[in-house]
Amino acid sequence: MNAAQKTFSSAYHESGHLASAYLCGWKIHGASVHRNGDSAGRCEIEPPTEGGMERTLQEMTIYLAGSAAWQVALAASPEHARAVGAVPVQARDLSPDELHAAGQGTPYVGWTDYERNHPPDLQHVERVARETTGDEREAEALISLARARAAALVSTPLFQALVERAAVALIANGELGGDEIRCELQRAELSYYDEGTEG
């Protein structure tokens, strides 16, 4: 990917974290798509002081939502989807060998594919699950629940609208403070509900 495509990817990834944090009621302090060491971007969020297991699930879902937002990115830009080797969903039933023979690259079969390219998020989720449960089997169950939540979240039009608005702002500015991000997300939410009440 070239620099513009990397910025595009990072903007949608960070916006997935931001949109889910916003919907969970977490504080947002800022986000950036500027590369810093091994990180292609960052977002600064703060959880509520209380919440128990629900807060833990929210944290895991928020971390997974960066990858979940990739579905929004692919829908927003077919050109970018082609650039990163994603193919139409209709091709997902083909085997890797069949796709390779057809010259279609790697199938895009879900947000877990993009998640594999962002191991720090997944490693964080796995660590939180293990520390919370103390049991490998229970940790896997907790991760499955968080993945299901993230997958359900990305399918909602409101989440998609929030991600799109935040990503566009990050692409345009490179870095945004907490107040700027909250303003963009609030505008997206108001616009979403305003459009829903028209007619």
Confidence of residue 83 (pLDDT cuts 50, 70, 90): low
pLDDT of residue 129: 95
pLDDT exceeds cutoff 70 at 139: yes
Q: What is the pLDDT of residues 42-73, one digit of tens each?
A: 899 999 887 789 999 999 999 988 877 876 67
Q: Please name the amino acid found at residue 91.
A: A
Task: Give 19-42 pLDDT, tens digit per residue.
Answer: 999 999 999 999 999 877 666 788
Q: How far apart are CA 56 and CA 37, in angstroms?
A: 28
The answer to whether the CB of 165 falls within 8 A of the CB of 182 is: no
Structure confidence at residue 88 (pLDDT): 47
Least-confidence region, from 62-66, 78-82, 161-165, 191-195: 78-82
Q: Is the dihedral of CA 111, 113, 45, 30 positive or negative?
A: negative
Q: SS3 for 43?
A: strand
Give the chain's domains with CATH numbers. Answer: 3-197 (1.20.58.760)
For residues 154 and 75, the answer to whether their CB atoms sit within 8 Å is no
Query: Does residue 37 come out as left (phi exceeding 0), alpha (psi in the -120 to 50 range) or beta?
Result: left
